[in-house]
């Protein structure tokens, strides 16, 4: 029984590490690729964000967008936002969108 409880503890630690890594990955990619326009807080209050008219992630239009919508915009671009398909992996895009949700004020 003791071996089983140790195995369970290791599984939980591995799962927690994976979730933390995904969060860091999304945060890291966001800071490197997105924050210059969308802002550290996701409010688009940057010179580039203002010039390109990037929306705040807390705007009604972005809040009502599904993850599929956000993925499509990220991959294909929109307005002056460049397409990131082929520049970011599927996992990076998924992680960035998960990170964006942490920035949204609903």
Express each pLDDT in 43-74 by its tens digit. Answer: 999 999 999 999 999 999 999 999 999 999 99
- Roughly what angle, to the nearest 10 degrees, separates helices 67-76 and 90-103? 120
Domain membership of residue 42 (yes or no) is yes
Domain membership of residue 11 (yes or no) is no
Report the domain count for the chain.
Answer: 1
First to last CA, the chain: 46
Segments forming the whole domain that contains residue 95: 23-103
Cβ proximity of 31 and 103 under 8 Å: no
Domain membership of residue 18 (yes or no) is no
Express each pLDDT in 32-46 by its tens digit. Answer: 999 999 999 999 999
Higher pLDDT, 19 or 88: 88
CATH number at residue 31: 1.10.760.10
């Amino acid at each position: 029984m003791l071996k089983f409880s140790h195995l369970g503890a290791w599984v939980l630690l591995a799962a927690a590490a994976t979730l933390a890594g995904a969060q860091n990955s999304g945060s890291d990619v966001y800071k490197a690729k997105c924050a210059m326009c969308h802002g550290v807080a996701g409010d688009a209050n940057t010179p580039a964000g203002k010039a390109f008219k990037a929306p705040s992630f807390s705007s009604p239009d972005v809040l009502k967008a599904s993850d599929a919508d956000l993925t499509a915009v990220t991959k294909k671009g929109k307005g002056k936002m460049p397409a990131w398909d082929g520049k970011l992996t599927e996992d990076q895009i998924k992680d960035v969108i998960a990170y964006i949700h942490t920035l949204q004020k609903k």
